Amino acid sequence: MARGETELYFVFMNYDPEYERLQSKRKKKGSYELDLYISKKHDELLANTFEPGSYKKRLSLVIVDGFAVEITDDQADVLRSAKEVRVVEKNQELA
């Protein structure tokens, strides 16, 4: 793979008390508020870290406070050093 090519990575976030609060509230009132919070939080992290158009967020994973994003290896290294991020893993294709 060329250095500038993008691949799919999964990014999992560090503990977030607001996420935990909304997660427990979600069981009572539905998921809209949590879904909105998580998606916005992930979008802001990417927008504050990378140039527009240099990545493609695929989806937010509400159940684990994570997201899938198409980025380069170098961008993955940058995300690994972000204080909000716990783990960045490249998607592994199963044969």
**Side chain identity, residue 40:** K
Place of tokens 């998607």: 91
Confidence of residue 93 (pLDDT cuts 50, 70, 90): confident
Band the pLDDT of 57: cuts 50, 70, 90.
very high
User: What does the chain come to in residues?
Assistant: 95
Q: Give the Cα separation of 54 and 56 in Å (integer).
A: 7
The answer to whether residue 58 scores a pLDDT higher than 90 is yes
2-53: pLDDT as tens digits = 557 999 999 999 999 999 999 888 776 668 889 999 999 999 999 999 999 9
- Average pLDDT for 77-88: 98
pTM: 0.89
